[in-house]
Amino acid sequence: MAHSSPYASLTRTRASRVAGLVALGLAVLLLVLPAFASRGLIQDLFFILTMLTLAQFWNLLAGYGGLVSIGQQAFVGIGAYALFGTVILAGIDPVPALLLSGLAALLLAIPTAYFAFRLQGAYFAISTWVIAEVVRLSVAQWKSVGGGTGTSLPRSATGSMWFTQAIETLFDVRSAAARDILAYWLAVLLAVATIGGLYWLLRTRRGLALAAVRDTMDAARSVGVDAGRMKWLVFLVSAFGTGLTGGLIYLQKARISPDAAFSVTDWTAYVIFIVVIGGIGTIEGPIIGIIVFYALQTLLADYGSWYLMVLGLIGIAVMLFAPRGLWGLFSDRTGIELFPVRRRLTGGLLSHPHHPESKDHG
Amino acid sequence: MIWFDTILQGVLLGGLYALFAAGLSLVFGVMRLVNLAHGDFIVAAAYLILLMVTMTGMSPFLAVLIAAPAMFAFGWALQTFMLNRVIGDDVLPPLLVTFGLSVVLQNVLLESFSADSQRLPSGPISTASLNLGGINLGVMPLLTFGSAVVVIIALNQIFYRTALGRAFRATSDDPSTASLMGIRPAGIFAIATGIAFVIVTIAALYLGMRSSFDPNIGPARLIYAFEAVIIGGLGSFWGTLAGGVIIGVAQTLGSAVNPEWQILAGHVAFLLVLLVRPRGLFPRAVD
């Protein structure tokens, strides 16, 4: 179709090509970083990358799917506990057990969606929270992984984890540092795969359908989009990714408790603020958001609860005065999109869309 | 007999949850807004009462009478200057703003009052009980339940017997048509939130006198309130009371079996109702 017509629908822009190259370079830099960087920097970057991944998945849910969940901690927690459960009870190596983290979250997402999709809007939001509480309270009854007080990954499992021996000899570091590097590399891969995967998804037909459902559900339905199926797709994908990230976060921490793994502040409030401040509904938004978030955390590290207060106030201010976030402000003024998903019609008579008069007087 | 006693205690506990929920139910009924900071405002009101009681030595019941108008004004201002700006077809902005408010409020309370548990002094009334045919009922739980019933009756009277209530219902049904009839929806919303904050203050009194509280317990109160509203059905005040009672009974029954199951049993009851009757037991509003 596109070949026979002088018109074509494109999503790429010059900025997006440059951004693609820069992203590729950045990914390579991040991968070789453990050769030079201190352990503290690696840990900080691990935190940044995993929070960024969680933010991207929440953004997929809320920003693209219109599903505002405040129960994502359910998937972080269940992913983490699936990892600890299989490592402690079945003796499986933690690295392959990460896949079970994603699968466990996916399994949990099915009944969660079944219940929560019965409610709309704000009630959907709180029902996801209730379900997260149910899972937290149930897991706290699971005595073989420490019940309410939690447990640690056994030394035998963390010491002989896949790849750690090789990392120890490669960088000449101790086992704990090698585990950090391994977790960091996995976080880099996960973040790159998440951003790349989301960008791909949003540019496919499904992505277009998703945007249509978000913008006007009725109009989308009238052109044949199955809105209910899109909601399920988005919910399951983001549960899987969130569970996988949860498993990875606790693989690095190596210590778990229900209150920490199912914390609404750590895994949902922070994530919401990252997305909202950066710009909801864009891939760039969470990236900007995580930078602001990390900068604030570093600046206000010594002020305890003031930090969350400031974060909350900024979140409210952004929602009131710049609902599309910092990236939205920037993008509106400059027209730059690094990960454009909008289709623009080009070719034929439109080939010089910005200077139509130059053709006439030419 | 022990089960009957447990269920009765649960019913009375439900009165407290209905008080938590009544404000939420009112605001949702009028403007389809869910204030995610609702539980934190209850806790904040409890601290306000505590502050008045410790500074002047007055009775908490008197403190509520003084705090209620102030809280009405606060709710009115919150709606006028903040929430009315984000209310609309998109559910995201009000959710995120009130979520932010919840986080800010918790940390302001933490910074001002520390994480220590507090309790409102309630005097001899907290331990007093009535013996009714072999069953001992605490005066405090009875008073809570009675207050919940009074609040529900008052809300129904306002809603169905006054000009203000007519404006509430008209705005709830169709804000644009209501505004053609000379009603200003923004003003109606502000009054509704003001009334919700009066109920929040009453809920705070019983929260503070019946158990200890700290800055972090708000979200859990929001969840109980939310469950009561959903079980009862959107827009029905008596339904909200019934919802509170169901959560209360489920919790006391759960804790009678195993004390660790108290909270879990309440949540499970909620999910069961959601499974069988997704629109609640007595739905009135169509959303």
pLDDT digits (tens, 9 = 90+) for B16-49: 999 999 999 999 888 888 899 999 999 999 999 9
User: Which one of A108, A118, A119, A130 would you mutate to disrupt binding with B, by most B Cβ within 10 Å of its Cβ?
Assistant: A130
Instruction: State the pLDDT at residue A361.
Output: 43
E-strand ranges in chain A read 7-10, 151-152, 255-256, 344-347
* Residue A177 vs residues A134, A167, B276: alpha-carbon distances, Å: 36, 9, 52
pLDDT for the residue A235: 96
Looking at CA atoms only, how far is residue A141 from chain B in angstroms? 8
pLDDT digit string (tens) for A181-206?
A: 999 999 999 999 999 999 999 888 88
**With 70 as the cut, is the pLDDT of residue A354 above it?**
no
CATH assignment of the domain containing B68: 1.10.3470
pLDDT band for B117, please (50, 70, 90 cuts).
very high
pLDDT, residue A14, reads: 77
Owner of token pair 């999503």: A11
Q: Is A273 left (phi over 0), alpha (psi -120 to 50) or beta?
A: alpha
Number of domains in chain B: 1
Q: From residue A217, how far is each of A69, A128, A210, A228 by CA, in Å?
A: 19, 22, 10, 10
In a domain, B127, yes or no: no
Q: How far is B230 from chain A (nearest CA, A)?
A: 8
Instruction: Return d(Cα B283, Cα B287) in angstroms, integer.
Output: 10
* Nearest chain B residue (CA) to A309: B104
Tokens (6 digits) for B250: 């489920």
Domain encompassing residue B151: 2-115+137-276
A122-131, A303-312, A345-354: least confident range: A345-354
3-state secondary structure of A134: helix
Q: How far is CA B193 from the centre of its chain?
A: 12
> Does the pLDDT of residue A355 top 60, yes or no?
no
The answer, for A200 touching chain B at a CB cutoff of 8 Å, is: no
How confident is the model at residue B124, as a pLDDT?
Answer: 80
Give the pLDDT score at A350.
Answer: 62
Backbone angles phi, psi at A347, to 5 degrees: 90, 175
**Residue A358, pLDDT above cutoff 50:** no
- Whether B264 sits inside 8 A of A315 (CB atoms) is no
Domain definitions of chain A by residue range:
26-262, 264-336
First to last CA, chain B: 42
**Probe site for chain A from B28, B35, B36, B99 (most A CB atoms < 10 A):** B99
Model ipTM value: 0.88
Is the CB of residue A109 less than 8 Å from the CB of residue A48? no
Q: How much is the pLDDT for A3?
A: 53
Q: What whole-number distance in Å separates Cα of residue B175 and Cα of residue B167?
A: 10
At residue A96's C-alpha, the angle toward residues A175 and A232, to 5°, is 130
Counting beta carbons within 10 angstroms of the beta carbon of residue A320, is it exposed (0 to 12), middle (13 to 18) or buried (19 or more)? Answer: middle
Mean of all residue pLDDT scores within chain B: 91
> What's the confidence (pLDDT) of residue A249?
97
Q: Is the pLDDT of residue A42 over 90?
A: yes
- Could you tell me the CA-to-CA distances from B136 to A308, B9, B127, B207, B255 in Å, in that order? 45, 10, 11, 21, 19
Query: Across chain A, what does the average pLDDT equal?
Result: 87
| Rounded distance between C-alpha atoms, residue B281 and residue A237, angstroms | 33
3-state secondary structure of A257: coil
Interface of A with B in 252-311 (CB under 8 A): 264-265, 269, 272-273, 276, 280, 304-306, 308-309, 311
Query: CA A210, CA A230: separation in Å to the nearest integer?
Result: 6
Number of residue pairs across A and B with CB atoms under 8 Å?
A: 115
Domain membership of residue B284 (yes or no) is: no
**Residues B195, B189: Cα–Cα separation, whole Å:** 10
Task: Report how far residue B127's alpha carbon sits from residue B133's, in angstroms, rounded to the nearest whole number.
Answer: 19
What amino acid occupies position A162? Answer: W
| Residue of higher predicted confidence among A147 and B267 | B267
User: From CA B15, how far away is CA B223, in angstroms rounded?
Assistant: 15
pLDDT of the residue at B249: 97
A121: left (phi over 0), alpha (psi -120 to 50) or beta: left
A71-96 CB burial, b ≥16 within 10 A, e <16? bbbbbbbbbbbbbbbbbbeeeeebbe
Cβ-proximal residues to B56 (8 Å cutoff; 6+ apart), any chain:
none
User: Average pLDDT, stretch B188-193?
Assistant: 95
- Name the nearest CA neighbour of B194 among B83, B281, B58, B94: B83
Of residues B151 and B171, more confidently modeled: B151
